Chains A and B, each alone.
Chain A
Amino acid sequence: MSVPRACVGSGVVVTLALCSAAGFAVEAPTKPPTVTAPAPAAKQDAESPPERPPAKVRVGGYLKPGAGIRYRADALPKDRLDYGFSGGAGLSVVAEPFPYWSGQLKLQFSSEVFSAVTGVQLFDLGGDGRPDGLVYTTKAVPGVTLREAAVKFEPTPLFGLRAGVMRIPFSLQQQSANTGLMFPTRARPNEIFLSGADFGAQLRTRIKDGRVIASLGAYNGDSLGLQIENQTARGVVLSGRVDANPLGDFALQGGDHARGPFRFGVGAGLLFRPATLFDERTGTEEKSFQDLRISGSIRVAARGFYFAAEYLRRQQLDDYSGRAHVADGAYAQAAFFFPLSRSFAVEPILRAGFVHEDQTFDPRLTGYTDAGINVFPVADAERPSDVKVTVQYLGERRFTEQEDAHGGALTLQLRF
């Protein structure tokens, strides 16, 4: 008797060891820390508390109202044309109470976070007193999700430690904030492979002003999702990512709003979760489980032009089912930011991608096409995307099922 096998390498460890062996020099920080350490309070009265510089706290957030429309030609008449308004908001609090120490809290508000059961009714078709089934009604209710709640200790850009709730920096888009995206939402391939925040801790290094950025972390794995339901997973997610930007760093946003010089970068991420699964109902049925994900990306930016492409792959194996869950996907997106006047800029945007799921047993190929334009009415702000209006087309092509969907969306983003 045997089971499918996967050879899982320790890519992260290998890479970090190689990077270390490559002899990257450890440099002193080029800029002093923004918050200086308090001076010794030798002359202070012994009974009075030592004075501390006031803690720096920044409160920010964003509002993102929008409206959208979607058309599915093959759907039931009720579902064929769907349209309405949507909205989201976020709140961010960043505190720097001590030198090198900071904390960040990000909350996301949405009008439809949870689906709540609002009514249950048994029905009896035969009138024999025995229920033949039940019907229940659900309603989407508003809610708040925790996007980030992390403590950071960063004495130098060469070494940083973060712990708490955060996105795993596995892919390019996972590293971007909700307000730093080229489109109002992340690319669908990215969301299918990894979504949301996770609990964990992360080591990070940033060398030569971001020409090399690497991170290594351990997480709970809540954002990975499991292909099998009613299972409890016990196992830490190990993740690593390396980005090399030899001509200079990129801002963590989908665009080149600074209209900087020519840069290009490559990156790769690896995520590995060896876990043990247990049946939720009984707490037994121990199964060995492996989840491996890899990503690779390239980026190019120059004078307002920005291009990024990313490939993602996932495979989940266990010693019980004999079936490997394998999926891969990719997307490419491009934008060109150009001001029409000092305070007004536009940015045509284009994105195409695909997801190829369940490859080993019932392959399903889905393609996505998005196109539109970002308008920046306050382009001379420090961050042009603080006020951004996006008009976009959204297309979905289910190649396997031969079904299309088309949509449009108008989104306004106000960041403060």
Chain B
Amino acid sequence: MRRASRFILSKWFRCLSLFACAASAASCVEPLPVGEYGTFRYVGQVRGSTPLNLLPPIADREGNAYVLYGDKNALLEVQLFVGHAEGGWSGGCTITFGNDVGAHGFVGKGEERAWYWSGESLVKSSGRTGGCSPVLEFDPASGARLNFRAVVPWVRETPSQTILLAWIQSLTDPVPFQAVIDLEQGVYTELQEFSPREAENLVVIGTGGDRDAAEGVVVVRYTLDGQVRTEARFINQKGQTVETKALPSMDDVPEYGIKGFFQRSDAGLYAGLDSQGQVLAFDRSGGKRSVVTGMTPVGVHLFQGEHWLVGTENDQPVIARLDDDGGIGKNKVWKASIDAAKELKGTIDVLDDRSLPSSQIEWKNARTAMGPFPFVHAHTLDRYADGTTTWLVAGPSFTASGGEERTAIAHAPVGVSYP
């Protein structure tokens, strides 16, 4: 002990302590300040004028960016842009199928790849090449075209396998089948037919899930023996239905009537905004629909395990926290959104790296490309880094031959906070 205490008082110990202090001081990382943007990168040009039918971008583990142009209800076309982590953009993927519904959204990401669900298709995109391909377009057993009726929005990627949960249905199937989709092998496993098989007029209201909780949910409405039922079906990662819970009537909500996906909080509560502007919140004990007052709601977001209802009021972005019972808190002006909008005033520098070598250009009158304000969108925002998400900014618009209006968009990381 004496030798140890002598050492603690020695020059060596002081020397090592200072070394450790210097090293720890060197290891701090500061996120982007709230509302400030990183490098704007020119994505491309898309059809229409602001607000454009775009989804909040996502990034895979390597930092490749995915920008999806499309909309579930208003548009039956999609276009995917892939921004490579090392620079350059590629893509142009337009895979979608079905005439009833457009892009549902991104459903997962992994190592150098991401998946989106559009219409009846599930599509895989490569961050390395920018290429894309449909997943299980046809049933390997029967050769029939498969319709992805419901997709749980997470991908579980492990050394063993890469999977997601979905309901698939071919034209001849009366009801969909619940399955685990092996995204590496392009096959389905753990196939279970929807029960009751006699269900009629089956529509999927919305889907949600939490990868870390290894849980998914599909909210479905169907008719059985003349009676309309609305249920939340909880699914585990093995593709088994572990709980079915009756929900309040949602007869006024059409198929895929949830904006974005249901978000699951750390408390286990799912919440989503429906097309009627009401918040549906539920867990395994039941659920309720709440009318939103005091704002025009746009969507339910998840940030650090908590639900936030975002929208507008008096031409300002507003936000309200949802409590663990689904109760809607008091509206607040969303300062982060206002700050991000202010940053776009004047001129912004945009890196045009669509083809390399890149060049620097300037955009005047830049504005948010989607939603009424930055961050205000039906879909929750991607976690790009600590306190940072990515957003799309609109630049010059022009009229192409044939009278079609097109708008340039740029992608950038931006600091964000929820009040």
Listed in ascending order, the chain B residues whose CB lies under 8 Å from chain A are 3-4, 7, 10-16, 18-20, 22-33, 36-40, 59, 61-63, 84-88, 128, 156-161, 182, 185, 212, 214, 237, 348-349, 353, 356-358, 383-386, 388, 412-413
Contact = CB atoms under 8 A, between A and B. Distances in A.
Nearest to B414: A322
A279 interface: yes
Interface stretch (A93-101, A313-321, A368-376): A313-321
25 contacts: A2-B38, A3-B32, A3-B39, A4-B31, A5-B29, A9-B25, A11-B23, A15-B19, A18-B18, A76-B161, A76-B185, A246-B12, A247-B7, A268-B19, A268-B20, A294-B24, A321-B39, A321-B85, A323-B59, A324-B31, A359-B386, A360-B31, A360-B388, A361-B386, A400-B212
A188 B218 CA distance: 39
A322 B15 contact: no
Contacts of B36: 1-2
Given A3-B38, A5-B30, A294-B24, A321 B413 contact: yes
Nearest to A358: B61
Interface in A2-29: 2-11, 14-15, 18-19, 22-24
A35 to B, nearest CB: 32
Contact of B384 (A242, A277, A361): A361
B63 A321 contact: yes
A212 B10 CA distance: 12
A398 B158 CA distance: 8
A270 B160 contact: no
A246 B158 contact: no
Contacts of A247: 3, 7
Nearest to B3: A247
A15 B22 contact: yes
Contacts of B11: 22-24
Interface stretch (A116-124, A149-157, A280-288, A339-347): A280-288
B85 A242 contact: no
Contacts of B159: 72, 75, 398, 403, 405
Interface string A206-229: 000001100000000000000111
A312 B264 CA distance: 33
Contact of A229 (B28, B29, B62, B356): B62
Contacts of A323: 59, 63, 384-385, 388, 413
Contacts of A11: 19, 22-23, 26
In this complex, the member of B13, B22, B383 whose beta carbon has the largest number of chain A beta carbons within 10 angstroms is B22
Contact of B12 (A7, A212, A282, A285): A212
Contacts of A15: 15, 18-19, 22
Nearest to B63: A321
Contacts of B29: 4-6, 315, 317, 324, 326, 360
A242 B19 contact: yes
A7 B24 CA distance: 10
Contacts of A7: 25-26, 28
B3 A315 contact: no
A402 interface: yes
A14 B63 contact: no
A317 B349 CA distance: 21
A238 B134 CA distance: 47
A343 B109 CA distance: 56
A22 B15 contact: yes
Contacts of A75: 159-161
A285 B386 contact: no
Given A6-B29, A321-B63, A14 B22 contact: yes
Nearest to B160: A75
B350 to A, nearest CB: 10
Interface string A254-270: 00000000001011101
- Of A2, A321, A359, most buried by chain B (CB within 10 Å of CB) is A321
A27 to B, nearest CB: 15
Contacts of B40: 1
A253 to B, nearest CB: 23
Most central of B59, B63, B161, B212 by chain A CB within 10 Å: B63
A264 B7 CA distance: 10
Contact of A6 (B4, B28, B212): B28
Nearest to A9: B26
Given A322-B38, A324-B29, A403-B160, 18 more contacts: A1-B40, A4-B38, A4-B388, A8-B26, A9-B25, A15-B15, A22-B12, A22-B15, A211-B12, A212-B12, A229-B128, A242-B15, A246-B3, A280-B86, A285-B86, A322-B412, A323-B385, A360-B386
